[in-house]
Amino acid sequence: MEKNNNNILNELQLQTIPRFSLPSNSLLLLPLVIPIFTFIFTSTATTVSAFDYADALTKSLLYFESQRSGRLPYNQRVTWRDNSGLTDGLEQGVDLVGGYYDAGDHVKFGLPMAFTVTMLSWSVIEFRDQIAEAGELEHALEAIKWGTDYFIKAHTSPNVLWAEVGDGDTDHYCWQRPEDMTTSRHAYKIDENNPGSDLAGETAAAMAAASIVFKKTNPHYSHLLLHHAQQLFEFGDKYRGRYDASVGVVKSYYASVSGYMDELLWGAMWLYKATDSDNYLDYVINKSHCFGGIGWAITEFSWDVKYAGLQLMASKLLAEDKHKKHTHILEQYRSKAEYYLCSCLNMNNGSNIDRTPGGLLYIRQWNNMQYVSTAAFLLTVYSDFMVSSNQQLNCHGGTVDHEEILSFAKSQLDYILGSNPMNMSYLVGYGSKYPTRVHHRGASIVSYRENKGFIGCTQGYDNWYSRPEPNPNVLVGALVGGPDCQDNFMDQRDNYMQTEACTYNTAPLVGVFAKMLQLQDQNPSQSLVASY
Ligand SMILES: *[C@@H]1O[C@H](CO)[C@@H](O)[C@H](O)[C@H]1NC(C)=O
Ligand SMILES: *[C@@H]1O[C@H](CO)[C@@H](O)[C@H](O)[C@H]1NC(C)=O
Ligand SMILES: *[C@@H]1O[C@H](CO)[C@@H](O)[C@H](O)[C@H]1NC(C)=O
């Protein structure tokens, strides 16, 4: 992604207060703007037409093929792409070919890539049957494996993990197709002397979650992933530090502003899910307080800040008898999870997530959609949990049932797909109107398969970036940054805050599309919204 100095937690750092000693309300960073009663479910009321979630699901998985780095397989479906990055790691004597380009550029950033794979895996873990029924399970597994194959390569010994290939500054100097890349492919690593507990923790989470996904269909691979995940977690826990202190080039792009404690708890939680071993659960319980697991109430769930996802997973443990002895701590996790969910629903006392007039959750102007897609995911997962555990959600503004939560998640999804004041689908390639000038090097330049004539570093800016015409290649399934706080969107290539897409925007949608598809299939004549 473009250089980002607009991260939420930059705001956090400005606070001079001790991090974990305050009541949760004081830690909420987003000021209340909309009175509680203004919009609760109004945006859903205008959503009448049913969307084609099966089509959206199919397209969302295609996007990951567009972002592939390395040697493309025979069954590659996105045919405007070709092989690229074939010497990644060579300079350092390590094979780092493969993995995903992060966004509209060609850096392989480890932290957001790992979060992408965690969210793809979580999508499959929760909604496997629905994805399979839609005929998309193979594609979902391929999307995960493209990432985990790379993580296996990048984890060259127990305490060494390659963190990044390429760097934002030199990459952004050029506008080229990945197939023509002439920029630096220098690789950066973390190790015992250059720790990165956040990166190690998130990569452990991704590999542990993926090991659950592959457990039945590919047990050998699943076991391998788990082995890497356990080593990575141990490495991250033993050698503590933020990865951006060790890999300086990542600072202006993916600085780990929330620190590494969230990723260590999150990694331990996923390892507990993957192994059922009490050691990992004890870690989540014992460190709940000092690592902020039960102290932070945050209304953002993202590649940087994992607390809300962790808290939601911990809440679900309460439903099982075997966790009874941890009820006291798990309840505290749950209260923070509920705080997140209620703030999405605009039902907290004071501290709610802002919304656009059109009803979209709004956190900040730069790539806001990433927070919408993670919120829709957590709400959907929690709604399913409420059904299976026969619970309700108690917010300050009242008690909410699972249908209301799902209905709100659907309103966000439908906004993404076109039910919005611009009548624009922010999922590229979906519907009749979608962004055509996505800030993406490969998509904005003639396909390498059509024209192999070399396009140089600045030539791309002159001849392709500055063209007013739509991109020659449609980046199908990409979720762009989306509209501003007034629902306005400008479809311009240089408007990267709104028109750039990132892999972690789309990943959570895979699960949410599958869930909405299932609802539609169960109830074809009446959309969920119509029942309100
Ligand atoms: C957690 O605390 C319990 C009880 O104090 C202790 O037995 C256990 O070893 C601790 N586990 C970890 C992973 O710190
Ligand atoms: C809600 O917030 C107001 C203002 O901060 C506070 O005075 C009031 O006690 C809160 N109510 C509850 C039930 O927490
Ligand atoms: C969106 O569609 C509605 C209903 O068809 C129409 O009234 C409105 O003008 C459209 N808005 C834009 C920005 O195209």
Mean pLDDT, consecutive 10-residue stretches, the chain (532 aa), reads 56 30 31 31 45 97 98 98 98 97 98 98 98 98 98 98 96 97 97 98 99 98 98 98 97 96 98 98 98 92 98 97 98 97 95 97 97 98 96 95 97 98 98 98 98 97 97 98 98 98 98 95 59 30
| Distance from residue 237's CA to the centre of ligand 1 (Å) | 15
- Paired with 43 in beta bridges are none
Residue to mutate (ligand 3; options 423, 486, 488, 491; most atoms within 8 A of CB): 423
What was the pLDDT predicted at 49?
57
Q: Residue 103 in 3-state DSSP?
A: coil
- Paired with 324 in beta bridges are none
- Paired with 355 in beta bridges are 361
| Distance from residue 45's CA to the centre of ligand 3 (Å) | 16
DSSP letter assigned to residue 465 = I
Show the domain range for 130: 14-522
Q: Taking a C-beta distance cutoff of 8 angstroms, is the pair 197, 262 a contact?
A: no
User: Which protein residue's CA is at the shortest distance from atom 7 of ligand 1?
Assistant: 282
Shortest-distance atom of ligand 1 to CA 280? 13
Burial of 443 from C-beta contacts in 10 A (0-12 / 13-18 / 19+): buried
Exposure on the CB side of residue 502, measured as CA atoms within 13 A = 33
What was the pLDDT predicted at 26?
30
User: Which protein residue's CA is at the shortest distance from atom 1 of ligand 2?
Assistant: 349
3 inside domain: no
| Distance from residue 284's CA to the centre of ligand 1 (Å) | 10
User: Which protein residue's CA is at the shortest distance from atom 9 of ligand 2?
Assistant: 349
Q: Sign of the C-alpha dihedral, residues 31, 35, 38, 40?
A: positive
Residues with catalytic function? 105, 439, 491, 500
The finding on whether 233 has its CB within 6 A of some atom of ligand 1 is no
What was the pLDDT predicted at 4?
62
Radius of gyration for the chain, computed over Cα atoms and rounded to the nearest angstrom: 22
7 inside domain: no
Q: Taking a C-beta distance cutoff of 8 angstroms, is the pair 482, 428 a contact?
A: no
The enclosing domain of 58 has a CATH number of 1.50.10.10
The finding on whether 422 has its CB within 6 A of some atom of ligand 3 is yes
Q: Taking a C-beta distance cutoff of 8 angstroms, is the pair 138, 64 a contact?
A: no
Distance (Å, rounded) from C-alpha 268 to C-alpha 279? 9
Alpha helices in 294-401 (DSSP H): 307-317, 327-344, 369-389
The finding on whether 286 has its CB within 6 A of some atom of ligand 1 is yes
Shortest-distance atom of ligand 1 to CA 285? 1
Closest ligand to residue 491's CA: 3
User: Which protein residue's CA is at the shortest distance from atom 7 of ligand 2?
Assistant: 349
Q: Taking a C-beta distance cutoff of 8 angstroms, is the pair 511, 377 a contact?
A: yes
166 inside domain: yes
5 inside domain: no
User: Which protein residue's CA is at the shortest distance from atom 3 of ligand 2?
Assistant: 349
| Distance from residue 349's CA to the centre of ligand 2 (Å) | 6
Shortest-distance atom of ligand 2 to CA 350? 2
Q: Taking a C-beta distance cutoff of 8 angstroms, is the pair 516, 127 a contact?
A: no
Residue to mutate (ligand 2; options 28, 339, 348, 349; most atoms within 8 A of CB): 349
For residue 378, what are its two tokens?
Answer: 């957590």
The finding on whether 25 has its CB within 6 A of some atom of ligand 3 is no
User: Which protein residue's CA is at the shortest distance from atom 8 of ligand 1?
Assistant: 282
- List C-alpha distances in Å: 244 to 53, 167, 239: 38, 13, 14
Cα of 212 vs its chain's centroid, Å: 18
Angle, helices 197-213/219-238, rounded to nearest 10 degrees: 160
User: Which protein residue's CA is at the shortest distance from atom 5 of ligand 1?
Assistant: 286
- List C-alpha distances in Å: 169 to 98, 184, 514: 21, 10, 38
Shortest-distance atom of ligand 3 to CA 423? 1
- List C-alpha distances in Å: 47 to 55, 98, 301, 509, 521: 18, 41, 26, 19, 18
Exposure on the CB side of residue 160, measured as CA atoms within 13 A = 8
For residue 108, what are its two tokens?
Answer: 């392989």
Distance (Å, rounded) from C-alpha 495 to C-alpha 439? 7
The finding on whether 451 has its CB within 6 A of some atom of ligand 1 is no
Strands 108-109 and 161-165 come out as: antiparallel
Cα of 406 vs its chain's centroid, Å: 19
425 inside domain: yes
Write the DSSP assignment of 396-440 as a string of letters.
Answer: TTEEE-HHHHHHHHHHHHHHHHT-STT---SBTTSSS---SS-S-
| Distance from residue 357's CA to the centre of ligand 3 (Å) | 15
Residues 6+ apart with CB under 8 A from 334: 311, 314, 315, 318
| Distance from residue 418's CA to the centre of ligand 3 (Å) | 11
What was the pLDDT predicted at 38?
31
Q: Which position has the token pair 């826990």?
A: 237
Element (H, E) at 254: helix 251-254
191 inside domain: yes
Angle among Cα 223, 225, 230 to the nearest 5 degrees reads 95
Q: Taking a C-beta distance cutoff of 8 angstroms, is the pair 177, 442 a contact?
A: yes
Closest ligand to residue 352's CA: 2
> How many domains does the structure of the chain reveal?
1
Closest CA relative to residue 434, chosen from 369, 371, 344, 375? 369
530 inside domain: no
What was the pLDDT predicted at 394?
95
Closest CA relative to residue 164, chosen from 258, 247, 264, 69? 247
Shortest-distance atom of ligand 1 to CA 287? 14
The finding on whether 282 has its CB within 6 A of some atom of ligand 1 is yes
Ligand 2, pocket residues at CB < 6 Å = 349-350
Q: Sign of the C-alpha dihedral, residues 281, 284, 287, 289?
A: negative
User: Which protein residue's CA is at the shortest distance from atom 11 of ligand 2?
Assistant: 349
Q: Residue 354 in 3-state DSSP?
A: strand
1 inside domain: no
For residue 508, what are its two tokens?
Answer: 């959570």
Residues 6+ apart with CB under 8 A from 469: none
